[in-house]
Amino acid sequence: MEKACDVCGAIFDATKNAKRCSPECRKDASRTLNRKSAREYRAAHREEVLESKRQYRAAHRKERAEYNRKYYAAHSAEIVERRREYRAAHREEIAERRRQYRAAHREEIAEYNRKYYARMDEESSLMMLQAALRALAEHRKATA
Ligand SMILES: [Zn+2]
């Protein structure tokens, strides 16, 4: 009996109640069905799925950190290169995202900068004070 494959539409000679023309189309159909049901499951059990992901991450925190550490150590040159390529290819987008971020976080950024410069001021005052104290000690040693 001739039939149209319900995946690719090809006409094939169907034995019994076959709906797909080839093993490839059968696999393709079951993959599609699996994806669809996984998607539906996730949509219907959103909170449970998120919670189980959270639990998994919490239970495997150390292994995951260790895995990431090893991965970065083994692939650092590639990663640096990939990031450089990404930045070069997406220069405009990145600049635009940065502009949007800055516009949306103006206050926070100003506050962060204020704290940063206050800390730098303190640190440089401290360094100047230490330098003055060292100079004074040198002076005392020289004139003692
Ligand atoms: Zn087919």
Q: Encode 83-108: b = buried (16+ Cβ within 10 Å), e = exposed.
A: eeeeeeeeeeeeeeeeeeeeeeeeee
Between the CA of 28 and the centroid of ligand 1 the distance, in Å, is: 9
Q: How far apart are CA 43 and CA 51, in angstroms?
A: 14
- For residue 31, CA distances in Å to 26, 35, 36, 40, 43 come to 9, 6, 8, 14, 18
Radius of gyration from C-alpha coordinates of the chain:
32
Between the CA of 40 and the centroid of ligand 1 the distance, in Å, is: 25
Q: How far apart are CA 60 and CA 52, in angstroms?
A: 12
pTM beyond 0.75, yes or no:
no
Per residue in 48-81, pLDDT (tens digit) is: 999 999 999 999 999 999 999 999 999 999 999 9
Between the CA of 100 and the centroid of ligand 1 the distance, in Å, is: 48
Between the CA of 23 and the centroid of ligand 1 the distance, in Å, is: 8
Between the CA of 38 and the centroid of ligand 1 the distance, in Å, is: 23
How much of the chain, in percent, has pLDDT values that exceed 90?
90
Tokens 């000679």 found at: 13
Per residue in 101-128, pLDDT (tens digit) is: 999 999 999 999 999 999 999 999 999 9
What is the pairing mode between strands 2-4 and 11-13?
antiparallel
Q: How far apart are CA 99 and CA 39, in angstroms?
A: 35
CB atoms under 10 Å from CB of 20, counted, come to 20
Q: How confident is the model at residue 1 (pLDDT cuts 50, 70, 90)?
A: confident
Between the CA of 10 and the centroid of ligand 1 the distance, in Å, is: 6
Task: For 30-73, give the DSSP string.
Answer: HHHHHHHHHHHHHHHTHHHHHHHHHHHHHHTHHHHHHHHHHHHH
- 144 pLDDT higher than 80: no
- 15 pLDDT higher than 90: no
Between the CA of 34 and the centroid of ligand 1 the distance, in Å, is: 18
Between the CA of 15 and the centroid of ligand 1 the distance, in Å, is: 14
- 17 pLDDT higher than 90: no
pLDDT (average), residues 4-16: 89
SS3 call for 13: strand
Annotated domain spans of the chain: 1-58
Between the CA of 41 and the centroid of ligand 1 the distance, in Å, is: 27
